[in-house]
Amino acid sequence: MRLPLAALALLVAAGCADDATPTTEPVADAVAEIVPSGPDRAVAQIAEVDGSGVSGSVEFIDLDDAVEIRYNLSGLSAGMHGFHVHQTGDCGPDSTGTPAGAAGGHLNPLASPHGAPSARPVQRHAGDLGNVEADASGRAVGVRVDSVLAFDGPTSFLGKAMLVHGGEDDLASQPSGDAGARVGCGVIRRADEAAADTTGADTVATPAR
């Protein structure tokens, strides 16, 4: 696209005017008022762990007093799969070589036992999101609302790891529901930061800044 010469001249003139103006703050304020700012969003791009073939995304949307969680996963075996926020935003192996072991245990800032997502905050890990159910084609798609996890404060999931397991979380066994191997993992990042990172899921194991 080419700008007419007159338009270019106007732009140059406007640029000179801006240079002569000591502050642009009023302009920034005006833009902030005009552009609607939606709810906070975060996303984890889920990558396979140890050749599992699992992939997809988990999105978090701030509802002020709760968080909406939208998941879209594929490559799973049919049935139930443990679904948790783990405490460390690292999908690499741990020191013993366990795939995605570096993500550590379930996010548990309140020092609670493992439990069901419907349990009270002192009776579940903040990261306990129970299970997702995959259909016969291996897809698990759904939405849920959680009132323990949050964008801010001690139960924040930002910078943590979203994990999907090969087996079902029984919602009772300690310390993690006996959900089996880690088959999918992604670091949860603010959506605008995730979008700005053009290298995408390849950097999933790299700590954000």
Nearer to Zn ion, 90 or 128 (CB): 128
Q: Residue 195 belongs to what H/E stretch?
A: helix 191-196
Nearer to Zn ion, 93 or 105 (CB): 105
Site residue total, Cu ion (CB under 5 A): 2
Question: Is position 86 annotated as part of the catalytic site?
Answer: yes
Whether omega before 121 lies within 30 degrees of 0, making that bond cis, reads no
Q: Rounded to an integer, what distance in angstroms lies between the CA atom of residue 49 and that of residue 80? A: 17
Nearer to Zn ion, 75 or 184 (CB): 184
DSSP-assigned letters across all residues of 158-187 = TTSEEEEESS---SSSTTTTT--SEEEEEE
- C-beta of residue 47 within 8 angstroms of C-beta of residue 186: yes
In the complex, the smallest distance separating the C-beta of residue 62 from Cu ion, rounded to whole angstroms, is 23
- C-beta of residue 127 within 8 angstroms of C-beta of residue 149: yes
The catalytic position among 84, 90, 146, 189 is 84
Q: Is 160 in the site for Zn ion (CB under 5 A)?
A: no
User: Nearest Cα to 94, choosing from 86, 103, 85?
Assistant: 103
**Tally: H helices and E strands in the chain:** 3, 8
Q: Is 163 in the site for Cu ion (CB under 5 A)?
A: yes
Q: Is 84 in the site for Cu ion (CB under 5 A)?
A: yes
Q: Is 114 in the site for Zn ion (CB under 5 A)?
A: yes
The residue behind tokens 């070589």 is 97
Question: Is position 81 annotated as part of the catalytic site?
Answer: no
For 114, other C-beta atoms within 10 Å of its C-beta total 25
Q: Is 86 in the site for Zn ion (CB under 5 A)?
A: no
Nearer to Cu ion, 81 or 189 (CB): 81
Question: Is position 114 annotated as part of the catalytic site?
Answer: yes
Q: Is 128 in the site for Zn ion (CB under 5 A)?
A: yes
**Which x/- pattern over 40-79 shows residues binding Cu ion (rule: CB under 5 A)?**
----------------------------------------
State the residues that interact with Zn ion by CB under 5 A. Answer: 106, 114, 125, 128
Binding stretches for Cu ion (CB under 5 A): 84, 163
